[in-house]
Amino acid sequence: ERGRMEYAIILTVKRPEALKIRKAVTSTGVRAEKGGLYPHISLAVIKSLKWDGIATAAESLAAETPPLKLKFSSIGIFPGTNNIVFLAPVVSKELLGMHGLLHGILRSRRLRSKSEYLPGEWVPHCTISREKGLGFLRILMRKRIFRPFHFDQIQIFRTLPSVKLISSFNLSGRE
């Protein structure tokens, strides 16, 4: 639809650690994600013109969520035209709780994510490649990326009509 915007609410890996993941991936010959995106886990993708509701939802989530430590334990592939290759985190009750909290906040603001990001459908993942070839996986398996990483921010990216960082909120909830 004309004039429609799409926003992603993402959980980001702490910057120095994100750079290590990005370096490990790009050292295999894979191109980095477009639009300045660093390694992250998408929590929701919303098509809406209600920017204010999305921003306050992300800010509320960040205020109620302490920084997380998540371990990437495997590599997965979403099949399709392009192979979407991702790092899969160990699914913790903290990650699922945060995800459920966000979707509750969104519902209270009459906002709804795309179905594949809803609780019960969502597969937590950190996309590392959208390229057709999979030869880089053998090299990637030897990199030091299967370990815990710290996640410290919620960010909002506009994904349509173009990719652009809109806001960042530090995770500041108590453990």
What integer pLDDT is reported at residue 137 of this predicted model?
Answer: 87
What pLDDT, in 10s, does the model give residues 102-141? Answer: 999 999 999 999 999 999 999 999 998 887 778 888 888 8
d(CA 83, CA 64) in angstroms, rounded, equals 35
Show the CA angle centred on residue 126, arms to residues 11 and 28, nearest 5°: 135
What pLDDT, in 10s, does the model give residues 67-108? Answer: 999 999 999 998 876 778 899 999 999 999 999 999 999 999
At which residue do the structure tokens 């960010």 appear? Answer: 155
* Cβ burial 17-32 (10 Å sphere, 16+ → b, else e): bbebbbebbeebebee
- Say whether pTM exceeds 0.85: yes
What integer pLDDT is reported at residue 84 of this predicted model?
Answer: 86
What integer pLDDT is reported at residue 1 of this predicted model?
Answer: 45
d(CA 23, CA 14) in angstroms, rounded, equals 14
